[in-house]
Amino acid sequence: MNYLYWKPYSSENERVNTIFPGAFTIDGDSSARGKENLLDSPEPFDHWDPDNKAIYLHPGSPVTDHLDCYKTRVVSRRLKEFLGEFIGTEAQFLPILLEAEDASETIRDYFIMHVVATADYLDLERTDHHPVAGKGPEVIVTPPIVLRRDKIPPELHVIRDKRLYGNDLIIREDLAKALKKAKFTGLLFAKCQYS
């Protein structure tokens, strides 16, 4: 089984809608990276308020199926439904209301894809990385990412490494190809290496 690094989406089109870190209001907490830090952990949410929201830039601009949002995966209903057929309990899809920075418009039918499936697959000896201050063993990596294939449960489709900070993910290559074939927008994948 081959895997790809599912890169955070970053559009070269400056008018594509973007959500920056600290732009989430979760359970009424809009402080910079307050409860938003909970999204960096693979722990499942027992409670999620459907009125939680994220502020986006550029109202009236294109909205992709996978939004430009540093490390937090915000996906359209269409992408959620497609992925849901494959990933089952590997992720929670948490409804999020998107609100324009100038409050001129809101967009519904988007979800945070909160991946809870984890494995210890990253070969840190062969992957460029640095620690995250105050986050214990968590690291931020620089591609190319080197995987230990024998540590990846083959039944999983979308996975976080236990030590990767935020929502850095790998995805099975067959699923990534199916997403591209279905013409979902805002998806970026990169080849992985193996040790």
Separation CA 122–CA 145 (nearest Å)? 8
* pLDDT recorded at residue 22: 63
Residue boundaries of the structural domains of the chain: 3-194
Encoded tokens for 16: 């594509």
What are the pLDDT tens digits along the chain (195 aa)? Answer: 999 999 877 666 666 667 765 688 888 877 655 677 788 788 899 999 988 998 887 788 778 899 867 668 899 999 999 999 999 999 999 999 998 888 888 999 999 999 999 999 999 999 999 988 776 788 888 889 999 999 999 999 999 998 887 778 999 999 999 999 999 998 889 999 999
Answering whether pTM is above 0.75, one says: yes
75: Cβ–Cβ under 8 A, 6 or more apart, which residues?
65, 66, 67, 83, 93, 110, 111, 112, 113
Q: Estimate the crossing angle of helix 173-181 against helix 77-87, to 10 degrees.
A: 150
* pLDDT recorded at residue 126: 96
Residues shown for the chain: 195
Q: Which CA distances in Å does 71 have to 104, 155, 174, 181? A: 26, 24, 22, 24
* pLDDT recorded at residue 68: 67
Number of helices and strands (H, E) in the chain?
2, 16
